[in-house]
Amino acid sequence: MNTDRADPADLAVLRAAFDAGACEPPLGWDAVHAFEAEHGVVLPEPYRTFVAEVCDGSSAGPPDLGLVPLADLPGDREDDRPRRVLARPFPLTETWVWEADPRPWEELEALLGPVFDHGSIVLGTDGCGAYWHLVVSGPHRGHIWQVTGEGAVPFGAEFGLTTGGSGFAGWVGHWAARRPWFDVS
């Protein structure tokens, strides 16, 4: 997974996976650069090139309820959340099920905010509070995470829960193949 240079093979997978009729128009490079300057990040490839040149959101997915445009949030997302700070690192590098964490809720609550609000953009939702995040800063830059009300888990074969490849192209390719997200038992 190369997050700094768009692989033509990854871009081909992305172009093939999306129905042009369901796609929002691409943003163009000027808008992508302006977004990056405003938020102090450089979007990971191939997502960066995808939103600039191919598609900025799709009603057909992935995930099940559609790919939201850059920096938007799914309609079911709470409006009273703090402002997302993309330049602050996404805090996780391994699965965390806070629902099973024995620490007091007050301690957990302080740790949860950054998981939901820092270092990642929300790609969309499968409903029921299951959101897909693309990490844009921190050690897991370029990786996709599913963040729910119960915990957070990284997507990619190296994490042992899926056969899907890491990163945006791997996540989209797995969806396009119509495979369950977590297909390793």
The tens digit of pLDDT for each residue in 165-178 reads: 999 999 999 999 99
Instruction: Give residue limits of the domains in the chain.
Output: 8-73+85-176
| CATH 3.40.1580 at 8-73+85-176, yes or no | yes
Helices (H), the chain: 8-17, 29-39, 47-49, 105-117, 167-176
CB of 172 closer than 8 Å to CB of 156: no
pTM (two decimals): 0.93
The pLDDT, as a whole number, for residue 78 is 55
What b-and-e string marks burial along 79-94, b requiring 16 or more CB atoms within 10 Å of the CB? eeeeebebebbbbbee
Model pLDDT for residues 2-20, shown as the tens digit of each residue: 888 999 999 999 999 998 8
- Render pLDDT for 27-79 as a digit per residue (tens, 0 to 9): 999 999 999 999 999 999 999 999 999 999 999 989 989 999 998 877 655 55
